């Protein structure tokens, strides 16, 4: 039996980096990344984008044992970005996500990935969101649950659907996994059987 594909989800709470000078990170962006960064109007969204790209470089460097500056990211309009190596060698698969101050990156040598993280917030109108996002039966089953199971079930399904969308496959064709966290729902979906692990960091290299 073939071994499961390996993947690591890197998770960063960027609240601790709120006062950091973004200048050194901006200098590391490629041309297409800088163009996309400038298109964001809200400062919060700019910072999420920037920290996500830095987290991706750190994750790729750790996975392959290469310096971060050998990696570039090519932005593509209407499509997911592509990670590239200066040498032209194979780059790992990855997926990025953010929710509030949290930034996440899933990375694997072995299989395409889709990642989504969502803050678990019972104060949101889960009934309206469930009816909008899910089928009638799924919505009814979730809303029938008592708290806190209702919130957990809602955000688990929400993050799974988002991760499947990023992967480009439905639940019947993909394999989805949930990583435990006290504040977040973390779903990572893959085209192959997966053994995901969670790595929480508090700073960027």
Handedness of CA 108, 110, 113, 118 (dihedral sign): negative
CA–CA–CA angle 134, 156, 4 (5° rounding): 120
> By the 8 A CB rule, do 115 and 96 touch?
yes
pLDDT score for 73? 94
- With a CB cutoff of 8 Å and minimum separation 6, the contacts of 36 are 49, 75
pLDDT score for 118? 96
Residues of the chain with pLDDT under 70: 1-2, 170-173
pLDDT score for 58? 96
- With a CB cutoff of 8 Å and minimum separation 6, the contacts of 163 are 95, 114, 115, 116, 176, 187, 188, 189
Question: Which domains can be identified in the chain, with CATH numbers?
Answer: 5-118+176-201 (3.90.470.20)
pLDDT score for 16? 85
List beta partners, residue 73. 83
Percent of the chain whose predicted confidence (pLDDT) is above 90: 72
> What's the rounded Cα separation, in Å, for the pair 70 and 30?
12
Q: What is the pTM of this model?
A: 0.92
Q: Average pLDDT over the chain, rounded to whole? A: 91
């Amino acid at each position: 039996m073939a071994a499961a594909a390996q993947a690591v989800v890197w998770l960063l709470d960027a609240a601790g980096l709120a006062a950091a000078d973004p200048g050194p990170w901006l200098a590391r962006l490629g041309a297409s990344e800088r163009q996309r960064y400038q298109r964001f109007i809200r400062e919060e969204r700019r910072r999420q984008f920037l920290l996500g790209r830095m987290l991706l470089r750190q994750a790729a460097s750790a996975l392959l044992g290469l310096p971060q500056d050998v990696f570039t990211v090519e932005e593509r309009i209407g499509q997911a970005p592509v990670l590239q190596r200066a040498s032209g060698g194979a780059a790992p698969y990855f997926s990025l996500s953010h929710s509030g101050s949290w930034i996440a990156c899933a990375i694997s040598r072995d299989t395409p990935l889709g990642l989504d993280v969502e803050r678990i917030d019972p104060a949101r109108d889960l009934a309206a969101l469930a009816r909008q996002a899910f089928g009638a039966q799924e919505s009814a089953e979730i809303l029938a649950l008592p708290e806190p199971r209702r919130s957990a079930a809602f955000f688990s399904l929400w993050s799974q659907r988002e991760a499947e969308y990023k992967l480009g496959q439905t639940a019947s064709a993909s394999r989805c996994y949930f990583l435990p966290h006290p504040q977040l729902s973390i779903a990572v979906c893959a085209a192959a059987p997966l053994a995901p692990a969670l790595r929480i960091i508090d700073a960027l290299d």
